[in-house]
Amino acid sequence: MYRSKGGPDLRRTKQDAMQTREAILDAAETLFYEQGVAGTTLSHIAASAGLTRGAIYWHFSNKLELFRAMQERAKLPQEEFCDEQACAGRRSLQDLYENTLEALRHLERDERTRKILTILLFRCEYVGEMQDAMLRRADAEATMHKAITGIFAAVQIRGELKHEWQPKEAATAYVCAVSGVISEWLRSDRGFDLTGVGARVVRSVIAGFACSSARVACLEEMAEARAAANLN
């Protein structure tokens, strides 16, 4: 019996292919997280997903392509920050504080993002075929650094940045502080309240950048924002 190209059989085939692809990605995410990227082969992933190696190669040409597809299923904190900043289009220390906290909240509540970021930071050696796997993270970090530099530049123009700091250097210091909190939270397997500790670290770091006249107002605004977030 003739069936049209857009009939039920074709739709079912596409749906089955999508389900198989997701099963492969789920298995890869779990194994990469549990035993590392270098310690996981395509055969391991196929066995975990209940598939053959041929099924893996039908969807992905190699391990790097599979790895990239897996990490695309999560939004990195750097990307979350930049999305918030692009939407807001604001240039104040208060904006920096709020956008950073939103990125931390996203990481804290999203299990997949937490696992994938753990893989990127602690479970992958960026050598050999996996060298290009770092490109997305590097691009996200560069974009975030540029956005934060822009905030500090605007703050400097308004005379609110301490004279000993230049915008690019302040952005580097700020990223190091926030990245350190995130890395320790992941390394300790969520050993502390990421948003709570992160908020205190961010307030302290920002206070160190702001000149005295701007610091008081900024700290008051951050305290109000934190109180409002706790109420919600």
And the tokens for 27?
A: 């298995």
Q: Which domains does the chain have, with CATH numbers?
A: 8-71 (1.10.10.60), 77-231 (1.10.357.10)
DSSP per residue over the chain, as a string? Answer: ----TTSHHHHHHHHHHHHHHHHHHHHHHHHHHHH-STT--HHHHHHHHT--HHHHHHH-SSHHHHHHHHHTTS--HHHHHHHHHHHH---SHHHHHHHHHHHHHHHHH-HHHHHHHHHHHHS----GGGGGGGHHHHHHHHHHHHHHHHHHHHHHHTT-B-TT--HHHHHHHHHHHHHHHHHHHHHTTS-S-HHHHHHHHHHHHHHHHB-HHHHHHHHHHHHHHHHHHHH-
Which residues have a Cβ under 8 Å from the Cβ of 53 and sit 6 or more positions away? 42, 43, 46
Lowest mean pLDDT among 9-18, 69-78, 128-137, 196-205: 9-18
- How far apart are alpha carbons 103 and 83 in whole angstroms? 10
pLDDT tens figures, 124-181: 999 888 888 888 999 999 999 999 999 999 999 989 999 999 999 999 999 999 999 9
Cα angle vertex 107, ends 102, 110, to 5°?
115
pLDDT tens sequence across 31-87: 999 999 999 999 999 999 999 999 999 999 999 999 999 999 999 999 988 876 555
What would you measure as the largest C-alpha separation in the chain, in angstroms?
A: 81
- Predicted model pTM: 0.84
The Cα 57–Cα 43 span in angstroms is 11
**Contact by Cβ (8 Å): 82, 140:** yes
Beta carbons within 8 Å of 224's beta carbon, 6+ residues apart: none
